[in-house]
Chains A and B, each alone.
Chain A
Amino acid sequence: MSFKVGRRDFVRFAGGGALGMAASGIGMEAISRFNEALAAEQMQVPGGPESWALGVCTQCPAGCGLRVRKVGARAVKVQGNPLHPVNQGGLCPKGVAELQTLYHPDRLRAPMRNTGTRKSPRWMQISWDEAIATLTGQLRKLRDAGQAHTVALVERNRHSLSSRLMQRFMTAYGSPNYLVLPSGQDALKTAVHLQQGVTQPVAYDWDRAQYVLSFGVNLLEGWGSPASIMRAFGRWRDPSSGRRTKFVQVEPRFSLTASRADEWVPLRPGAEAALALGMAYVLITEGLYDAAFVREHTFGFEDWHDDAGRAHQGFRSLVLSEYRLQDVAALTGVPEETILRLAREFGNHRPAVALGDSQTSTLPGNPYSAMAVHSLNALVGSIDAPGGVLIQAVMPASPPPGSVTAWPRIDQSPSSVFPGHHLAEAARAILAGRPYPVQAIILNEVNPVFSMPNGTAFEQCLDQTPFVASFAVFLDESAMRADLVLPAQTDLEKWQAVTSPPTFPSAVQSIAAPVVPPRYQARQPADVILELAHQLGGAAAQALPAANFEEYVHAQAGELFAAQSGSVFSTSMEDAWNRLLDRSGWWSPTYATADELWEQMQKQGGWWDPTYSHGEWQRVLKTPSGRFEFYSQTLAHWAAAHPEFARNAGMKPDDDRLFLPHQTPIADPPPGYPLLLLPIEVLPLAGGEGGHLPYLQQIAGSHLFEAWESWLEMDPETAHKLHIPDGAIVWIESRRGRAQVRARVYAGVRPGVVHLPLGYGHTAGSELSRGGVNPLSLLEDRREPVAGLPQSAGTYVRVYPS
């Protein structure tokens, strides 16, 4: 079978034409010498013997293992570590581009102090000693005045020992305000917390799943652990396994993930819960659900009475009464026959997993939708089953120091509902100065002004905070608002210790020593914090006795040894053997002491515990009932103490649907703004980062031959109606503001929706990343009622030619 591809299709690769050289009358030798002369202008780079070193990439939380080729002291190629269980030798394009970050011309070279104002900074280079003295002075002053709690440290959840160190530092110092950026998985985390009662991240048993149904999750474009998911994707399609795992993508846009799926189901934006519950309708009425699991391990499936004798609606009666196929089809735009077929496939191809929802790896979806989707997993018995949705194993670790402060965390997020941090709420609290004013903010390699949905609010937070310090690789939008900017080392220059990546079931500890010496005066933030702790003395110094991060990581290896389980990274053969042994209750490590473990971890890349024990209900179902709760009692208890919850959700307080998965209302477009703006994430700029890397900028919009610039995707019908030809520059305007961008007509766009890619629109940082539009700057500040998560969906815009 071959598809219709003609010569013309290939010609698209060819460049525009300028005439080349005429070749007449010039001899061969002369030509060679001419070319060599051109070549002689090329740069001379130092040579040296070849060597290989292991590294870890932390451009996303996956922490893929790297194998770096060096020539002398230079790193010349980044490849995957074949022994690393997460990526197994493969890499996503971001990992390969790591060298361009290491050798980037725009990197910060030395600590700098702002001698101007926040709005017009003037940067003066200072020494590290001075920088650390400033930082220490600020923290000591606040602590001595009993104001330690007014210091906040913000970073991305990097799943690393460095994050653990930062957290412990903050606690020991006396501040509850260790805060991380929102993650695209926050809605799912909330759902799992409400329905299963666990705060450990979810994981998926990709290799044994037979059917994967994704509600808007960009599985192949940056969600979770990309290289690991792609490896699983390759296995789903591998004929030698004898069966093909069917992958279905449900989303409004024909994304790259949708195009690679076995089936794409176009869906009205925001209607994910309705589709999931429509499928539940079929599963229930046709008896395709796992009745034994539902009976033994779930609560709230049937109607029930509480201790006071009040009747409550259960999941089944809700679905059967409100999610009939006709209604669901009308609401979602998915035909009845498709819903029927999907549900039957999902119910019959076990083990089946449903994922969702989320918009991108950094923008969360709606917890009610996530609950609806996760309910499908419970219906077919995929909770903690082989091939299903698992709960990530806990890393062996020394217990954290107790909290030394009674002050609440500034975001005051409803931790009984949402187990994460709420940076958007924190920004609000900081601006209001309640419950207490924040007096110092430390940013660790994070750029909230650019990457938060309401970045301007965070900008204001920084401006009104007396002291701001930022560890950064580039002088980005957030660092520009700091008093002190501290150059951070990149992945290949520092000790790396990354723990269990997202969606990966096992406990993993990846280790790497620095591959190359640090460039310029960059330092590892964890090392600086350790020095800070020692200079501050007191509880902070006691909690972190390690002299540097290497020692800290080395000490953690002792924890892994004490766990008396797991193995060092090895070939898949060894892993299979270790798993067999562990399953039978045996352990056969290649190390006899903690030191041997440490040596081997450095040589092979790390340690992990490959065994997963299914069906440990006490570990994975920790709700009040000890069962999977279709009806979340946790949420009900919280709502009883917080009457504003029902108000925000627009429902009566005794409406049982508040605590059951349901479809939330989809707002109509406001007058004058007819098009829904949905930001999209492309793998090269996943996480909204990578704009400084030329390799990634070149491939970011390959499906439309776009590179280096933002593009606005619009469907052909709307473009025609608005008289916008493909490639024209247009204005896109929301109620928050407007920007100019190039419009591209793309048939994969749902009529009535437009898309802008994340990662563009930098106004600071590397020169290479400037230009384009940051879609987050156009989004309105919308929150959902359950956990208050910022919603990226729901902003409407208008587009017109410029």
Chain B
Amino acid sequence: MARWGMAIDLAKCSACQACVVACQSENNIPCVPPEEARSGRILSWISLLPELEGEYPRLSMRLVPLPCLHCDNPPCILVCPVKATGINAEGTVHQIYPRCIGCRYCTTGCPYTRRMFNWYKPEFPGDLALALNPDVSVRPKGVVEKCTLCHHRLMQAREEAKAAKRPLAEGDYLPACAEVCPSGAITFGDLDDPASAVAQLARNPRAFRLLEDLGTKPKVFHLAEGEWSGGRGNQT
């Protein structure tokens, strides 16, 4: 059984946000109008978390790509009253939309705030609905949604491998964000396969997990920048 995880190299990330848009395109995430955007209700399963420190001219900024971290010990699933969310055998934290009653306890339970609630009916103005991906359900108003590690791609990859009578190989299954990243910052794969790239990166000395002390055991590792980092001005 695989244990799907991700490693995001903050040194390589160019903060272009292609991952954000690719995820939205792949997963039928609706766009929200400007007023809703002002309330902070933009739906994006992966976003960049900006962290600016310092004063001009000594500044540093980190822009951390943050998908659902698919914790091995996820606090969000413990609080759902209807078991609309849980963790499957491969470690992916899933969401069952028809079961969700929209109480949003899970959005509070997630310490990384990676769960989003559909406050409004999703709109796809004009013919934009023609771009919808048939493999992913469109969520109705009133349910919580979050990153699924493009689980539908895993299902398709498994079927294709089965039809070709070969095992699932590394690289057959990639979420949209990992696939589109132009600088190659996102690595994805089976953490339990010691030879996989992601397993090796997870063991890298630069690797860390956000809010490690909470004991959530995320399966998304970030790799801190190296020696020269953060755009610090005026080194002398």
Contacts and interface: CB of A to CB of B under 8 A. Distances in A.
Direct contact between A and B judged by beta carbons closer than 8 A: yes
A47 B212 CA distance: 44
A239 B52 CA distance: 26
A698 B31 contact: yes
A284 interface: no
A103 B130 CA distance: 7
Nearest to A234: B183
Contact of B231 (A42, A231, A258, A704): A258
Interface stretch (A26-34, A637-645, A786-794): A26-34
Interface residues of B, number: 104
Contact of B51 (A5, A45, A91, A749): A5
Given A15-B41, A341-B236, A703 B63 contact: yes
Given A21-B102, A32-B99, A41-B121, A264 B231 contact: yes
A558 interface: no
A705 B176 CA distance: 23
Contact of A18 (B52, B119, B127): B119
B151 to A, nearest CB: 16
Interface string B17-59: 1101110111000011110011111101001111110111101
A92 B236 contact: no
Interface string A1-38: 11101010111111110101101001010011001101
A76 B182 contact: no
Interface stretch (A93-101, A270-278, A476-484): A93-101
A625 B64 CA distance: 51
Nearest to B64: A5
B132 to A, nearest CB: 5
Contacts of B21: 93, 96-97, 695-696, 699
B126 to A, nearest CB: 2
Contact of B113 (A2, A11, A266): A11
A10 B142 contact: no
B103 interface: yes
A230 B134 contact: no
Given A9-B49, A20-B102, A748-B56, A695 B24 contact: yes
B164 interface: no
Contact of A698 (B44, B141, B231): B44
Contacts of A464: none
B126 A702 contact: no
A260 B228 CA distance: 10
A220 interface: yes
Contacts of B20: 93, 699
B126 A90 contact: no
B20 to A, nearest CB: 6
Interface string A587-614: 0000000000000000000000000000
Given A43-B124, A91-B18, A234 B182 contact: yes
Interface string A60-79: 00000000000100111111
A703 B208 CA distance: 23
Given A266-B234, A707-B37, A748-B59, A227 B140 contact: no
Given A230-B16, A234-B182, A263 B56 contact: no
Contact of B25 (A71, A337, A695, A705): A695
A14 B138 CA distance: 21
B188 interface: no
Given A41-B121, A103-B131, A264-B59, A233 B14 contact: yes
A703 B101 contact: no
B125 interface: yes
> Could you say which of A26, A92, A244 has the most chain B C-beta atoms within 10 Å of its C-beta?
A92
B34 A43 contact: no
Contacts of B143: 35
Given A91-B22, A97-B25, A262 B228 contact: yes
A30 to B, nearest CB: 10
B83 to A, nearest CB: 9
B127 A21 contact: no
B13 to A, nearest CB: 8
B103 A23 contact: yes
A683 B17 contact: yes
A14 B110 CA distance: 11
Nearest to A95: B18
A220 B14 contact: yes
A231 B184 contact: yes
A99 B29 CA distance: 14
A230 B182 contact: yes
B103 A41 contact: no
Nearest to B213: A2
Given A1-B224, A42-B138, 20 more contacts: A21-B103, A23-B102, A26-B101, A31-B101, A35-B98, A42-B122, A79-B176, A80-B179, A92-B16, A92-B18, A105-B125, A234-B12, A237-B226, A262-B231, A264-B231, A341-B236, A683-B17, A695-B21, A704-B50, A747-B56
Closest 6 interchain pairs by CB?
A105-B126, A90-B182, A234-B183, A38-B140, A694-B31, A708-B34
17 contacts: A3-B62, A15-B119, A21-B101, A31-B98, A71-B134, A79-B22, A79-B180, A93-B22, A96-B18, A103-B129, A104-B126, A104-B128, A226-B16, A233-B183, A337-B236, A338-B234, A771-B34
